[in-house]
Structure 1
């Protein structure tokens, strides 16, 4: 009797593939295990089993699997169900979801191994120089990997060379699958059993009378054993005895000490103390009860609490209840910077029950977090993480908290799957019959609309914690200030005076500028030319600290120019300003104070955020300049002044969400001010102080903004009244993109009539030498989403079969917001 398995391969193909297994393998395998399979001519992948059955594929002969990689499933049935939903809803393949979901250590791919061909006689005279180099290396080594070949030849592209040597029968190649995850093993030592008796111990110490260093190490071992019942690490023993690893090794070699290894997690949290959570004030109590009542009837509750109202403490009470019931909790955050602050706060209450999961963790650390969640270990009862945490293998999920739920960082834009973590989390929670709390001071319009339509519960918390007043927000008219010559650099006299006063009082200041670098444009005074990126349609941004011009889209960079590339003039000036220029100006204006900067350039590396946030919290930085990283829920007690350097570049953005986003961003940045007893102050510099959004920000009028924006959305057929699917054509040839997207738009119009917008080039149409052109499909609420997607799929399949459009990539982005 024949047995078969269906597997998902981590490649962007729309279907699962069938492989053949024997009876023993069929009985051993379970859905969620990985098997090594050959796909194509020679490539070997780690594929994920979804089904074991006895139906042979009709179109092709099923290949045998290479071998089984797991003893137990690494993916749960709930995850496989969620992957199917993501793949269907966001119109991508399960292989793409698998790539996004699994830590890369699980996505084993094969490595090409090169061997010398001993069966053939080789005439060395026929070999070119680089071929002979490789041939000679194989005389000394039995095998070589691709990376080693690159090092020997000194080139990155070695595949043509390997191809030539295969044709000349000098080498043979094979694929070898390799495991990336390596468990962390810690070395421990203990005394050999034969010396544990009193007589044996005495004899041992006597024998070491002429080896004082070895004897000293032993005495410290006894001391450490007396202090604690824990096993003794070699590292701790060396430190305590002020010795070296050589002395310890000698004792091991003499069979006096016995060495052993224990596997341990890479991420360890020191906190053991579990403090009881804070008592809530009356308003928080009322909000907590209202959320609980709301969750009895509905699965999702929107918690609309103003900035600094103490939402986190309410979340802590909700988490405590889930922990008592033995359930898991997922706490989603939009920005890694936030996890830094939140971990220390939640550790006080929950000790070691926390696990953190985000992209700055290493591959091995993510595998350990994954396994701890899957095994429902106590240390993974609460998971704090960025959007990818929705893919973890939960087994008993009771509650998902999505903090700052309005944030666009919850949406993945590239590569596929282009999922929204908030919406995916709601689907995930339903699978476990769990509950979701969406928290924000400025909820997304869709979420607020759903709450008003009674689809979600709605709970408001309108008082700041400790009855602190909302910050006093003032608009500064830059046009008038420049006319009256009341500007110093990019600072109005009003902002400078406020900064001086705050510094005098020993308070801290946050300044927000949503652009990194020194200056976004370098321009020639003589001919007006500005250096452009050769790969993208953008001007290069000047970075002063590296003296470089950089492209923020593709990473291209050159040294700062000394003269104009077009006319040779030496008169180059910079236009516009970024965080780096603000930082430099502040250093000149306030030389005796410490200035810090928080943007993508200063937070690289695993602990980049942590270092800056800790310094600011401890008062080592007086003024912190930053991009929108600063706006997301950070809690600084001593900040009384927030300055927004230029509000206009937020508002003038070609996107139907621009006004909603700028309101949210400014309101959130403003919320960092005055979180203790003193009322905070916010100054917003703008050329257009009478803009409706700025007026609404200045009086914290979320409801007014919501009414205006929802009216516009209704009028112009945008979410939440219409769903949006964006289709992008991408290719390096401008004409081919034009023709391909025109054909697509025509085909789509036949089905969806006037609900198709475009094709249209975006403001930046060429990125990384690829032209992009967009088509928007608007789907009214009454129209079946499933049928719409089926039509799009059919049109996409027809498109793929047209020879003239080959090479044009079609990218589908569902719910493009």
Structure 2
């Protein structure tokens, strides 16, 4: 009986592929192990074993696998089930989920290696110029990689050259697999066993009297070893003894010292954990009891706690309970910026049991966290991470906490899988029969609606910690201030006065402007022309610190022109303003104070966030200017004033969620103010001060905002009343996108009738030289979601089988929020 294995490949294939294996391999292999397999003409991929069976494929002959890469599974059974759920719910393939989930170092790539045919002699006349260069290079080197050829020939596409040389039998190629993950080895040093006795050591030191530096090294090693029982690192010894590595090498060569390596984790917790968490106040106690009561009836509970009400302390109590039951906890956060502050707080309580996982970690660091979660190690009892941590190989999950659950950062937009981490985490918790707690000061309408419908438990915490009052919110009318000439740049006189008072009392200020760069538009005063991005349908944004115009969609940049490109006039003016301009104006207005900026441009590095957050906490920054990164639940003790520079650009955004998002953003950024004893102040500048949302933010009236917005959602049939699937078409040819989207929408209408909207061009209709067009499918509550998806997939397959449409990229985005 032949044995076969189904393998999931990290590419968008609808099905897994079947390969032949030997009986011995069939006995050894288990689902979740990696194997390297051939696929297509010359490709080798790292695949994941899905199951082992004895059914040969009907349509093709099964190839053999190349090699087995693991001794034990690196992916668990529950994880595979979870991936399959993501693939079917979010209309993508399991291979795409696998690629998103596994750290890069686990997905080995084949590299094509080129060798010269030893016994073949070729004359120069038989080869073209580029072929001869490769042939010559192979005389100097035994093998070359594709990348080497690109460098030698200075060409991107070197495959035609390789093909011609293979045809002439001058070279042969081979695929080699490279293991990418390398464990971190630290070099330690110790005294050779022959010298450990007192007499032997005495003799050694006498022998080394003529080499004082070597003698000092031995003495230092002896004194370090006496002080600590831990192994001594070579780096530690060189530092303590002020010796060069050459001296230590000489001692190792003489056999006096021995060096050895120990594998260590790249991320380690240094320090002691406190044994007790903080005592809760009476409001928190009541909330905690209610959460536990809700968990008895419901698996999911929504905690609606105002900003600075001490939600984190409640989470800590719930985590403690799970750790006592030997369970794992997943703590999801929307932004990497938050992890830095929270890691410190959680490590104070739980020490090294906290593992952190997010995209700014290197591939090797992610592999280590993955292995610790897989082995249910003590170092990964609590996994704190951004959305990708929901894809980790949990063994025994007891609780999932989704903090700031309303955040749009939990939704992955590109590439596939386009999953929502909050909803995906709820499904993961269900698979483990674990509980899920969603926490937010401004819950999403979807979650609050589910709580009102009785699907989720609801617990409210309406008092701030220490009974500090909610901040005093004042709305400033910009139209009136401009009329009365009471503006200095983009600062109203009220905002300036408040900033001065706050700084006088040694408190800090946060200024919020939801646009980065210096100004969004540069315009010629003579002819009205403004520079556009050549690849996208947007104006270029002026960045003053680099003196360049940048596109925030594709990254295109160009030096700031001195004259107008259209008419040659030198009168160029900038319209609108971003964080850079606010920062510059703040520096001019308050020259004696330290002003800093926190946006995508200033936090690109691995520790970008940490540097700014630490500087603010330590009081090195007086005024922090930033984008919505600032709103994400950060806890700054000394901030007394928050200024929202312009509320209107959020309110007027063309999206059915604009008002909900504006309320959330403003309420969250207001919550950064006055978090200790004194009441904070918030100033919102707007040209439309009587807007309903601004009034609701100023009175912190979430319920009224919810009621009003839900009326709109009922009227216009938007989530959470109707579900939504957004279909996007992309192609560089405008006409093709138009015709394709029209055909697709017509097919959808035959099935879904009036519930299909579009096709429509979005506000930015061209990005990276690709035209975009959207179609929305709305799904009423009583309509089956799985049947709807089946119908869409069917239409999608027939669309892609039309030759003219095959080049159009179709993106299916389920629950596009």
What range describes the TM-score normalised by the shorter chain of this pair? over 0.9
How far did residue 128 of structure 1 move?
A: 4.0
1:454 aligns with 2:478: no
Equivalent residue number for residue 805 of structure 1: 805
Query: Match of 2:306?
Result: 306
Partner of 2:523: 523
Cα drift, residue 589 of structure 1: 1.0
Q: Which residue of 2 aligns with 1:136?
A: 136
1:70-129 Cα distance to aligned partner (Å, 9 max, x none): 111010001100000000000000110001111011111111111112243212234444
**1:217-247 CA distances to partner (integer Å, 9 max, x unpaired)?**
1111111111111111111111111111111
SS state at 1:772 partner: strand
- Does 1:508 pair with 2:508? yes
Counterparts in 2 of 1:75-114, with a 5 A limit?
Answer: 75-114=75-114
CA distance in 2, matches of 1:6, 1:720: 39
How far apart are the structure 1 equivalents of 2:587 and 2:202? Answer: 68
1 CA distance for matches of 2:701 and 2:25?
Answer: 64
CA distance in 1, matches of 2:492, 2:161: 63
Q: Residue in 2 aligned with 1:273? A: 273
SS across alignment from 2:605: coil
Q: Which residue of 1 aligns with 2:472?
A: 472
SS at match of 2:646: coil
User: Residue 210 of structure 2 aligns to a residue in which SS?
Assistant: coil
How many matched pairs? 817
Once the two structures are overlaid, the 10-residue window that deviates more, 223-232 or 400-409, is 223-232
Match of 2:760 in 1: 760
> Within 1, Cα distance between the matches of 2:135 and 2:564?
50
Structure 2 unaligned spans of 5+: none
Superposed counterparts of 1:44-59, under 5 Å: 44-59=44-59
Deviations 1:621-679 (A, max 9, x none): 00000000000000111111000000000011111111000000000000000111111
Deviation at 1:198, TM superposition (A): 3.0
Aligned counterpart, 1:282 = 282
SS at match of 1:724: strand
Determine the C-alpha separation between the residues in 2 that align with 1:306 and 1:683: 19
What is the CA deviation profile of residues 771-798 of structure 1, one whole-angstrom value per residue up to 9, with x for unaligned ones? 1111100001111111111111111111
Aligned to 1:295: 295
Q: Secondary structure at the match of 1:635?
A: coil
CA deviations over 1:435-457 (Å, ceiling 9, x no partner): 01000000000100000111100
Q: How far has the Cα of 1:191 moved from its partner?
A: 1.6
Partner residue, 1:644:
644
What do residues 692-738 of structure 1 show as CA deviations (whole Å, max 9, x unaligned)?
11110110000000000011101111111111001111111111111
Measured after TM superposition, the shift of residue 258 of structure 1 is: 1.4
1:375-403, Cα deviation, whole Å (9 max, x unpaired): 01111111110000001110011011100
Deviation digits for residues 751-786 of structure 1, max 9, x if unmatched?
A: 111000011111111111111111100001111111
Question: In 2, Cα distance between the equivalents of 1:161 and 1:272?
Answer: 61
Provide, for residues 248-272 of structure 1, a one-character-per-residue CA deviation record: whole Å limited to 9, x for no partner: 1111111111111110000111122
Instruction: Give the C-alpha shift of residue 309 in structure 1.
Output: 0.4
Partner Cα separation in structure 1 for residue 258 and residue 537 of structure 2: 65
Give the whole-Å Cα distance in 2 for the aligned partners of 1:630 and 1:438.
Answer: 21
Query: 1:154-176 CA deviation, whole Å, 9 max, x = no partner?
Result: 34443343334334433222111
Structure 2 CA distance for aligned equivalents of residues 130 and 797 of structure 1: 42
2 CA distance for matches of 1:606 and 1:237? 29
State how far apart, in whole Å, the 2-side matches of 1:547 and 1:174 are.
Answer: 48
Q: How far, CA to CA, are the matches of 1:526 and 1:264 in structure 2?
A: 65
Match of residue 355 from structure 1: 355
Distance in 1 (alpha carbons) for counterparts of 2:734 and 2:256: 75
- Aligned-residue Cα RMSD (Å) equals 1.0
Which residue does the alignment assign to 1:586?
A: 586
SS in 2 for 1:19: strand
What residue is the counterpart of 2:634 in the other structure? Answer: 634
Q: Distance in 1 between matches of 2:231 and 2:56?
A: 54
SS of residue in 2 equivalent to 1:208:
helix
Q: Which segment drifts farther, 561-570 or 301-310?
A: 561-570
For residues 276 and 318 of structure 2, what CA distance do their matches in structure 1 show?
Answer: 14
SS of the residue corresponding to residue 812 of structure 1 reads strand
TM norm structure 1 = 0.99
> 1:60: Cα distance to partner?
0.2
What is the distance in 1 between the residues matched to 2:163 and 2:500? 69
User: C-alpha distance in 2, partners of 1:130/1:521?
Assistant: 47
Q: CA deviation at 1:22?
A: 0.2
Which residue matches 1:673?
673
The residue number in structure 1 matching 2:713 is 713
Normalising by structure 2, we get a TM-score of 0.99
Q: Which moved further from structure 2: 30-39 or 135-144?
A: 135-144
Residue in 2 aligned with 1:373?
373
Q: Mapping of 1:210-225 within 5 angstroms? A: 210-225=210-225
The alpha-carbon deviation at position 803 of structure 1 amounts to 1.1
Aligned-partner SS, 1:6:
strand
C-alpha distance in 2, partners of 1:659/1:68? 53
Residues of 1 paired with 2:673 and 2:24: CA distance?
65
**Structure 2 residue 737 is the aligned partner of structure 1 residue 726:** no
Compared CA separation, residues 129 and 19, structure 1 to 2 (3 A): same
* CA distance in structure 2 between the aligned counterparts of 1:515 and 1:223, rounded to whole angstroms: 58
Query: In structure 1, what is the equivalent of residue 322 of structure 2?
Result: 322
